[in-house]
Amino acid sequence: MSQGLVSRRALSSVALVLVLRVAAVWGQQSPPSQPGSSEQLEQVIVTAARVPEPEDQSFFSSTVLRRADIEARQVSSVEDLLADLAGINVDRSGGLGQQSSVFIRGADSDHTLLLIDGVRVGSATLGIAPFEIIPLEQIDHIEVVRGPRSTLYGSDAVGGVIQIFTRQAGEPGATLGGSAMTGSYDTHELTGYAAARGRAAWGSVSGDVLTTAGIAACLPSAVAGCFDPAAPQLPDGHQNRSGSLSVGAQLTGQLTASADVLYTHGWTAFDGAGFDDRLDFQEKVFSAHLDQALGSSWHLKLMAGRDADDERDFLDPTPVGTFDTVRNSASVQADGKLGAALRLISGVDYEDVHVDSDTPFAVTSRTTRAGFGELHADLGGWSALAGARYEDNEQFGAHWTENLGLSRRLGEGVRFILTWGTAFRAPTFDELYFPGFGNPNLKPETSQSWETGLEGAGGALRWSVHAYQTTIDEEISIDPLTFLPLNINRSRIRGVEVQGDWRGADWVVGGQLTGLEPLNVSAGAGYDDLLPRRPQQSASLTVRRLLRAAAAGGAAGSVGVVARWEGRRYDDLANTLPMGGYLTVDLLTQWRLARDWTLEAKAANVFDRSYQTAAYYAQPGRSYGVTIRYRSSLQ
């Protein structure tokens, strides 16, 4: 096995492991009114149907995290933010900046599709999205959709879709802001942004610098996973410098144009053979959009996107690998009403992927073309959904995916949902062709999912109960004997999620309880083992107390606690390497110092719990952080 692959696996703790975490639901906040603001985002979600629709009408379990939610949680990474959500589990190979994998409802990490401003993002060689290098301070809001969405998005959307929208100018007038943070492990962050919105044009720009000395990722007792357990156990630092730009204009009364750019680059150290083992990364995401209204009820949307994912690996400090991926994509979408009760969403997608590496891959490019259509019917108290997608993959041929949905209003604020859907995932270039590791005989993975749920909202209380089953055929995993990728034939994942949140005048309480049965049910395998890194039980709770200034009578701050618990699970497919369960508790507070100034403070993992989400890799212990934020609006 080559040094390049060894270093990548040392950083990633094996790219093909399977995981799930489910965690706390943050209380919903009061909705705003301007386009792109938190009020509108609380009512509308885009990712579930590729068009804006009210959250309480979506057929798929979804969560929207607004800018206020991101700042209130006081974490330094996207994966730590997502770990609070039901249906999501995160594993990370060490501290901040180390390779992370995000899993939805027990599906593998490469079954989670990541979009940034509509563009598919991630390495085509490694196959997992780079959540650990996406800067939180460049994010306007995040939409999470659970369940198969290959009908609209194609390959990889087996467990669900996460879409990140970069910072935008939401309010009329000009806005200036920034923040400064300092915390444990010599962690520091400086941010700044400016935005302006006029009657016919808008724009925003932001920048961020994040550095940390980090923790020693590999545990001293490690015998696998790390590159060299005998090497010095040094802290693994991380630096991330990033910027984003968003501009748009109302060209005519019917035509809108916009463009978004996200750029991030830096380095991450990892435990290897020497004192200066690291990878340098760079992510460049560009998207351009045209939205043409066709009459009063139809829209034509054009999108062009490009994602460049670059990685350079170094071992003390010899260059050992270059892995650059470029994804060029385009789509044309038409959506509108066919009648009073019918709405059609249809379009065509195109993607061209190229790999440039000093590792000799047998194949270095792949093109896909697809057409899709989805019908939504609103029949009084009933709603129905039917969709299909035809996708032609240059390497693996044609694939059809379909989905059906039915919902029924059961009185005021209560809704019953039943959905069925199929999905697929094409193997990555690493899985197929990496020298000494790839398996060119791998087949695409296919899945079939059922879900039923009840959702309710009334007054200050929102709640939901969802039960689901996903069967994955030809799932790709790591052979516990040869450590090579293989199709394990079949896995079956069953789960139940109970969620609820309540918001009173002075309190916000939210939480979730999850049961999961993720099994390898391959015929003739000789065992019914649990799939790796999936806890069978988990629970979480968030409690916040809103504090009010006596003079003004308005909210002046808050104190809160976030608790997450996960049960034990195994790190390997053969179930020979158990990892214990754990509970973490975070304490958080915010206080408005003046009209434009806010102070935040946190104590994370206050009980200093030692735990692992990937075998042999440590997680941060008790830590602290203080942030001061400035925000001023000029109308």
Q: Give the bridge partners for 9, in sequence order.
A: none
Given a cut of 80, is residue 507 above it in pLDDT? yes
CA distance 438 to 431: 5
Element (H, E) at 89: strand 88-92
Q: What is the DSSP letter of 111?
A: G
Output the CA angle 462-89-266, nearest 5 degrees: 115
Once rounded to an integer, what is the mean pLDDT over residues 108-126? 93
Q: Which residue has the higher pLDDT, 40 or 230?
A: 230
pLDDT in tens, 377-430: 998 899 999 999 999 999 999 999 999 999 999 988 899 999 999 999 999 999
pLDDT at 39: 41
Cα 584 from chain centroid (whole Å) = 21
pLDDT in tens, 274-316: 667 889 999 999 999 999 999 889 999 999 999 999 999 988 7
CB atoms within 10 A of CB 87: 29
The answer to whether the CB of 389 falls within 8 A of the CB of 154 is: yes
pLDDT in tens, 20-41: 222 333 333 333 333 333 444 4
Find the radius of gyration of the CA atoms of the chain: 23
Given a cut of 80, is residue 209 above it in pLDDT? yes
Which SS3 state, helix, strand or coil, does residue 121 take? coil
State the average pLDDT for the chain.
Answer: 87
Q: Which residue has the higher pLDDT, 119 or 571?
A: 119
> What superfamily in CATH does domain 3-535 come from?
TonB-dependent receptor, beta-barrel domain (2.40.170.20)
pLDDT at 458: 84
pLDDT at 221: 66
Given a cut of 60, is residue 195 above it in pLDDT? yes
Query: How many CA atoms lie within 13 Å of 353's alpha carbon, on the beta-carbon side?
Result: 24
Q: Which residues contact 569 (CB under 8 A, 6 or more apart)?
A: 530, 532, 533, 534, 535, 536, 578, 579
Both tokens of 351, joined, read 């993607």
Strand duo 382-393 + 365-379: pairing: antiparallel
Element (H, E) at 72: helix 67-73
Quick one: residue 448, left, alpha or beta (phi over 0 = left, psi -120 to 50 = alpha)? beta
Q: Which residues contact 589 (CB under 8 A, 6 or more apart)?
A: 557, 558, 559, 560, 600, 601, 602
Closest CA to 209 of 168, 238, 236: 238
pLDDT in tens, 444-475: 999 999 999 999 988 889 999 999 999 999 98
Scanning the structure block, which residue is given the tokens 């961020």? 208
Which SS3 state, helix, strand or coil, does residue 188 take? strand
CA distance 126 to 131: 13
CA distance 512 to 445: 30
Q: E-assigned strands of 380-489? A: 382-393, 397-409, 414-425, 445-458, 461-473, 476-478, 485-487
Q: Which residues contact 296 (CB under 8 A, 6 or more apart)?
A: none
Scanning the structure block, which residue is given the tokens 């984003």? 244
pLDDT at 334: 97
pLDDT in tens, 258-268: 999 999 999 99
Q: Out of 316-320, 397-401, 535-539, which region has the weakest mean confidence (pLDDT)?
A: 316-320
Given a cut of 80, is residue 525 above it in pLDDT? no
Once rounded to an integer, what is the mean pLDDT over residues 119-135? 92
Element (H, E) at 585: strand 582-594
- Tell me the pTM: 0.90
Given a cut of 80, is residue 480 above it in pLDDT? no
CA distance 441 to 428: 12
Q: Out of 41-50, 161-170, 303-312, 496-505, which region has the weakest mean confidence (pLDDT)?
A: 41-50
Both tokens of 505, joined, read 């005048």
The answer to whether the CB of 566 falls within 8 A of the CB of 574 is: no
Closest CA to 167 of 209, 134, 202, 138: 138
pLDDT at 576: 86
Strand duo 623-634 + 597-604: pairing: antiparallel
The answer to whether the CB of 90 falls within 8 A of the CB of 83 is: yes
Given a cut of 80, is residue 77 above it in pLDDT? yes
Both tokens of 384, joined, read 């129905």
CA distance 154 to 350: 10
The answer to whether the CB of 330 falls within 8 A of the CB of 366 is: no
CA distance 173 to 198: 6
pLDDT at 283: 97
CA distance 492 to 473: 9
CA distance 240 to 268: 9
Given a cut of 60, is residue 194 above it in pLDDT? yes
The answer to whether the CB of 598 falls within 8 A of the CB of 628 is: yes
Once rounded to an integer, what is the mean pLDDT over residues 2-18? 34
CB-count exposure of residue 591 (10 Å: 0-12, 13-18, 19+): middle
CB-count exposure of residue 528 (10 Å: 0-12, 13-18, 19+): exposed
pLDDT in tens, 58-75: 999 999 999 999 999 999
pLDDT at 37: 38
Given a cut of 90, is residue 148 above it in pLDDT? yes
Strand duo 112-116 + 160-166: pairing: parallel
pLDDT in tens, 342-362: 999 999 999 999 999 999 999
Output the CA angle 183-186-191, nearest 5 degrees: 65
Total residues belonging to the chain: 635
The answer to whether the CB of 97 falls within 8 A of the CB of 123 is: no
Scanning the structure block, which residue is given the tokens 């008790």? 622
Q: What is the DSSP letter of 580?
A: -
Q: What is the DSSP letter of 230?
A: T
The answer to whether the CB of 399 falls within 8 A of the CB of 376 is: no
Phi then psi for 180, rounded to 5 degrees? -135, 130
CA distance 147 to 252: 38
